[in-house]
Structure 1
Amino acid sequence: MKKERDNFSSKLGFVLATAGSAVGLGNLWRFPYLAAKYGGGIFLLTYLILAVTFGFTLMITEVALGRRTRLSGTRAFASLDRRFGFVGYLTFIIPLIIFPYYCVIGGWVTKYLTAFVSGNMKAATGATYFTDFISANTSPIFFMLFFLAITCIVIIMGVQKGVEKVSTILMPLLIIMIIFICIFTMLQPGACEGILYYLKPNFADFSASTVLAALGQLFYSMSLAMGIMITYGSYMKKNDDLESSVTQVELFDTAIAFLAGLMIVPAVYVFSGGDQSAMNSGPGLMFITLPSVFQSMKFGSFIGAFFFILVFFAALTSSISLMETLVSMIDDRFHTGRRKTTIGVFLFAIIFGIPSSLGFGAWSHITIMGYSILDFWDFISNSVLMPISALLTCIFVGFIVKPRFIIEEVESSGNFKRKALFTIMIRYIAPICIVLILLCGLGILTI
C-alpha cells in the first residue's frame, strides 16, 4: 500500500515554511555586505528586478515540479525522464554537503546568542573573541551539536506538527524583531547618511559585477537549486494557488533581505565613518563588526541580544529546510521512515560537521585547493554544484518536458500572470545568467 504523502495544512503554512527556508544567514549578513560592496542603492534595485524575473522563474519551476510529481528531488526528475534522473541526485548531494557546515555556523550564532543574552557583550566584542572561539576544539562542536539537536527534534515531529508549526511561530516573530531593530538603528545619530547610501541608486556604480553578485545572492536567498523547493512543493496542496503562493514567498524573502540591509548598513556605515571595507568582511561582519557596533550604541546589549535571537531563528528555519529535504529524499527512495532517517542524517551531520569545525582549530593546517575545510565545502556547493543544478533544471524544463509542463501545473490552481515571462526566462535568459555565474564562481570569467 502506497504511503500517503505528508502535506502542509494550508497555503499560509506552505508560504511561511518556504519563506522560513529562504530566510537565513544569506539574507541577514550576506545581502547587507554585498549591498555595501556593490554600490548600495544600485545593488538593491538590481536585486529587486532580478528577484521578480530570474528568482521567480527558478522558484516556481522547482515548486511546480514537486507538486506535480508529489516527489522530492531524487525521484521527481527520474519520474519524468530517466535520462535526467542524475539531476535529482545532484539536488540531494548539494544539501548533503551544505547541512553539516551550516550547523557549524549555526553553532557560532548560538554561541553569540548565549553571550549577549547572558550579558557578556563586552567579552563578545573583544578583538580576538571570534577567532579564539572558532579555533577552539570542543566549544564550537558543543554549540554545533546543540543547534543540530534542535533541528532534529523539529524534523522528527513531522511536516505539519514540526516544520509548519515552528515556521508559523518563528517567522512572524522574526518580522517583528527585524522591524524593531530597523527602527532603532535608523534613529541613531548620523544614520540618515547610511540610509541614503543604501536606498539611493547611483547608476555610475552599476556594472556587470553588480548583476552577477545579485544573481548569485538569489541562490542563497531563495534556497534555489538544492532540492528544497521541490520537496516543499511536493507537500503543497493541489488546490492552493501556486503562482500567488510563490509570489508571496518571493516578496517575504525579498522584504527580509531589504530590511536586513536597512538594519545593518546604516548602523555599520555610521560606526565605520563611511568606510566600506568594514562592510566587506564576510562572516566577520556578523561576528566581529556588528558586536562592536552594538557596544557603541545606547541599549546596545539589549539590541545585540535581540539581533542574535533574530539571527538564530533565521538560521534555524533554514537548517530545518535543509534537513527536511534530506530526510524526505532518503525516505522517498528507501522508505526508511521519518524517525530512523532523521537520526541517520543527524549522525551524518555530526561526522562531517566536526571536520569543518576543526578546520579552524586543530586541523587548520589542512587545506583543500587553498580553502579551509568549511570554505571548501561552501565553494563546491555554492559556486559549482548549485549553478550546475540550476542550469540542468532549466534545460530539462525548457527543452525536455517543455515549459508547458510547468504552466499546466500552475494553471491547475489559478491564473499564471507571468506565463510569457516564465517561458522566455526558463529557455533562454536564465541559462545564460547561470552559465555566467558558474564561470565567475570558478574564476574562469572575471568581470
Structure 2
Amino acid sequence: MTSSDRGQFTSRFGFIMAAAGSAVGLGNVWGFPTQTATNGGAAFLLVYLFMMALLAFPMLIAELTIGRYGQSNPIASLRKIWVKNKPVAAMFGVIALLTASMILSFYAILAGWLIGFGLAPIADVIGLNGVADWLVTFGTARNVSLTVLFMLMTVFVVRRGVSDGIEKWSSRLMPVLFVLFIALIGYIFTQDGAMDGLEMYLVPKWNHLNASLVVNAMGQAFFSLSLGVGAMMVYGSYLSKDINIPKTAGQVAIIDTGVAFMAGLLILPAMFVAKENGVQIFNELGELISSGNLVFVVLPALFDSMGLAGEVIGIAFFALMVIAALTSSIAMLEVPVSCLQEEAKMSRNKATKILGGTILLCSAIIAANFNALFDLVATASTVYMQPLLGVVWAVVLGWIWSRNSLLEEIRQGNPEIEQTWFWKIWPWYVKFVCPAAILIVFAYPFL
C-alpha cells in the first residue's frame, strides 16, 4: 500500500489541528489544573512549561520524524529503521497498538460519563428528571450505554479516513473547543471568588518546589502530547515530505500547552466560584478534593447553584470535555486501525469496525468489573507501558537509526537544517537526555 493509497493530510492546518487534538485530551482539561492546584500553583506551571520544552517537544519531533520516514503504521515504520532486528521492531509496534487500545478502552468509559453529565441538564429542562438522574448515577448499564455512544462517535470519524474523517473533524472540533474555552473563562471571571482561584493559579508557592513536583510536571508534559503510544508516529506517516517537522511540532506543542493553560484559567477560578456558592472544594485536611470529584461533583454542584445560566454553562463545559476526549480517542483508535489495515491488507471500514467493536467489548468488561479492572488497566497502560515505549522510540532514533538517514529525512521541508543549532543539539539530546529523563519519571515512584 503506497502513501497515496493510504491517505494524507491535505493541509498543514489540518495536520496541526489533528495532532493538537490528539494531544489535547482529558489530561489537559481535567488533570493539569488539579496537578497545578495541588503542586504550588504557578510553581508547577512554570516547571511544566520548562519540561514541555525540555522533554516533550524533542520527543514529539522524534515520533513525527519516524512516522513520516516510514510512511506507514508503527510496526512497518519501526521495521524500516530497525532493519537488523525486524522482529523486535515489529514487537514494539504491536505493544504500541495494544497500549493505545488499552488506553482507549478505559478512556471511553470516562468520556461516556462526560456525555452523561452534558445531557443531564437537557433532560432536566425537558422534564425527563428520571433520565437525568440515570445519566449522572454510577451504574453498569449507564456506564456501558454511554461508552457505546462515545465509541460510535469515534468509529464514525476514523472509518471515514485521514482527510475526510480525522482532518475534517479535528479542523471543526478544535476551533469549537477554543471558542467554548474563551466563552466559559470570560463568564467565570465575572463571578465572585474567581480572582482567588486566579491567584492560586498564577502566584507561585515555591515551598511546594521539590523532586516530586518536578517529576509530576515532567510526566504531565510527556503524557499531554500523547507520546509513547504511536499516535504521533501514525499522524507523522500521513504528513507530506515538504512539511518542516520541527516547526510544525512546535506549533502543535504550543497549542497543546495553550489549551492546558486555558484549562487552568477556567477550572481553578471555577473551583473558587463554587466555594463562594457554598460548594465544598477542600477536604477535612484542607487539601483540594481529588480531580475525579472535581469534575463530577464540584463543578456540577456549581452549575446547579447558578440557576438557568448554570444549566447552559454546564452543557457547554461538558461539551468542551467531550470534544477534548473525542479528538484524543480518534488518534488512539487510528493507531491499531492503521496497523490492521496495512499489515493485514484490510479495508479501513472493516478494520475500524473490528477494532472499534473489540475495544468496546473490552470497555464493557472493564465497566462491568469497574473496581477490579479500571485502575489496573489505566495504570498498566499509562504509568508503565507509555513511558517505557517513549524510551524505546528515543533509543530507535538516537542509537539505531543512521544519522545520515535521519538528517536526510528531517532535511525534507527544511533544507538548511544541517547548519542550525537544532541539528547540532537535537539528535544527541534525544539519544542521551530524553531516555534518562523518561526513566527518571518512570522510576521515581518506586524509589
Superposition TM-score, scaled by structure 1 size: 0.90
Counterpart of 1:245 in structure 2 is 248
In structure 1, how many angstroms separate the alpha carbons of the residues matched to 2:166 and 2:141? 30
Matched, 1:288 2:290: no
Counterpart of 2:97 in structure 1 is 92
Matched, 1:187 2:228: no
Q: Deviations over 1:237-266 (max 9, x none)?
A: 111221211111101110000000110012
Structure 1 unaligned residues grouped into runs of 5+: 368-372
Counterpart of 2:73 in structure 1 is 72
Counterpart of 2:6 in structure 1 is 5
* Equivalence map 1:151-162=2 (5 Å): 151-162=154-165
Letter of the aligned partner of 1:435 in structure 2?
L
Structure 2 unaligned residues grouped into runs of 5+: none
User: Identity, % of aligned pairs?
Assistant: 30
What secondary structure is seen at the aligned counterpart in 1 of 2:140?
Answer: coil
Stretch deviating more after TM superposition (420-429 or 185-194): 420-429
- Kindly tell me: are residues 405 and 270 of structure 1, through their superposed partners in 2, closer, same or farther at Cα, counting changes over 3 Å? farther
Counterpart of 1:61 in structure 2 is 62
In structure 2, how many angstroms separate the alpha carbons of the residues matched to 1:254 and 1:279? 23
- Kindly tell me: are residues 247 and 139 of structure 1, through their superposed partners in 2, closer, same or farther at Cα, counting changes over 3 Å? same
In structure 2, how many angstroms separate the alpha carbons of the residues matched to 1:404 and 1:214? 34
- 1:435 corresponds, among 427, 435, 439, to 439
In structure 2, how many angstroms separate the alpha carbons of the residues matched to 1:397 and 1:193? 46
- Kindly tell me: are residues 185 and 329 of structure 1, through their superposed partners in 2, closer, same or farther at Cα, counting changes over 3 Å? same
CA contact (8 A) 1:121 1:291 kept: no
Deviation at 1:270, TM superposition (A): 4.1
* Equivalence map 1:31-430=2 (5 Å): 31-82=32-83, 83=85, 84-85=88-89, 86-119=91-124, 133-134=137-138, 136-272=139-275, 275=282, 279-297=288-306, 299-360=309-370, 364=371, 367=372, 373-401=373-401, 405-414=405-414, 416=417, 418-430=422-434
CA contact (8 A) 1:167 1:317 kept: yes
In structure 1, how many angstroms separate the alpha carbons of the residues matched to 2:331 and 2:432? 30
CA contact (8 A) 1:216 1:437 kept: yes
In structure 2, how many angstroms separate the alpha carbons of the residues matched to 1:93 and 1:335? 19
Deviation at 1:200, TM superposition (A): 1.9
In structure 2, how many angstroms separate the alpha carbons of the residues matched to 1:212 and 1:354? 33
Deviation at 1:283, TM superposition (A): 2.0
Stretch deviating more after TM superposition (77-86 or 91-100): 77-86
Deviation at 1:230, TM superposition (A): 0.3
In structure 2, how many angstroms separate the alpha carbons of the residues matched to 1:159 and 1:399? 31
Deviation at 1:4, TM superposition (A): 2.4
Deviation at 1:121, TM superposition (A): 12
In structure 2, how many angstroms separate the alpha carbons of the residues matched to 1:130 and 1:49? 43
Deviation at 1:433, TM superposition (A): 1.5
What secondary structure is seen at the aligned counterpart in 1 of 2:6?
Answer: coil
CA contact (8 A) 1:119 1:301 kept: no
Deviation at 1:139, TM superposition (A): 1.7
CA contact (8 A) 1:39 1:206 kept: yes
In structure 1, how many angstroms separate the alpha carbons of the residues matched to 2:36 and 2:134? 24
In structure 2, how many angstroms separate the alpha carbons of the residues matched to 1:287 and 1:190? 20
Letter of the aligned partner of 1:390 in structure 2?
G
In structure 2, how many angstroms separate the alpha carbons of the residues matched to 1:260 and 1:388? 28
In structure 1, how many angstroms separate the alpha carbons of the residues matched to 2:147 and 2:282? 33
* Equivalence map 1:21-40=2 (5 Å): 21-40=22-41
Letter of the aligned partner of 1:345 in structure 2?
L
In structure 2, how many angstroms separate the alpha carbons of the residues matched to 1:48 and 1:261? 13
- Kindly tell me: are residues 139 and 54 of structure 1, through their superposed partners in 2, closer, same or farther at Cα, counting changes over 3 Å? same
- Kindly tell me: are residues 90 and 383 of structure 1, through their superposed partners in 2, closer, same or farther at Cα, counting changes over 3 Å? same
Q: Deviations over 1:173-222 (max 9, x none)?
A: 10011011111112211221211110122322211111111111123311
- Kindly tell me: are residues 407 and 290 of structure 1, through their superposed partners in 2, closer, same or farther at Cα, counting changes over 3 Å? farther
- Kindly tell me: are residues 116 and 408 of structure 1, through their superposed partners in 2, closer, same or farther at Cα, counting changes over 3 Å? farther
Deviation at 1:402, TM superposition (A): 5.1
- Kindly tell me: are residues 374 and 202 of structure 1, through their superposed partners in 2, closer, same or farther at Cα, counting changes over 3 Å? same
Q: Deviations over 1:289-344 (max 9, x none)?
A: 11112223462111111101111111111111111121111112111110110111
CA contact (8 A) 1:22 1:222 kept: yes
Stretch deviating more after TM superposition (250-259 or 281-290): 281-290
CA contact (8 A) 2:273 2:302 kept: no
Deviation at 1:280, TM superposition (A): 4.5
In structure 2, how many angstroms separate the alpha carbons of the residues matched to 1:303 and 1:237? 40
Letter of the aligned partner of 1:92 in structure 2?
L
CA contact (8 A) 1:170 1:313 kept: yes
In structure 2, how many angstroms separate the alpha carbons of the residues matched to 1:8 and 1:387? 28
Letter of the aligned partner of 2:173 in structure 1?
L
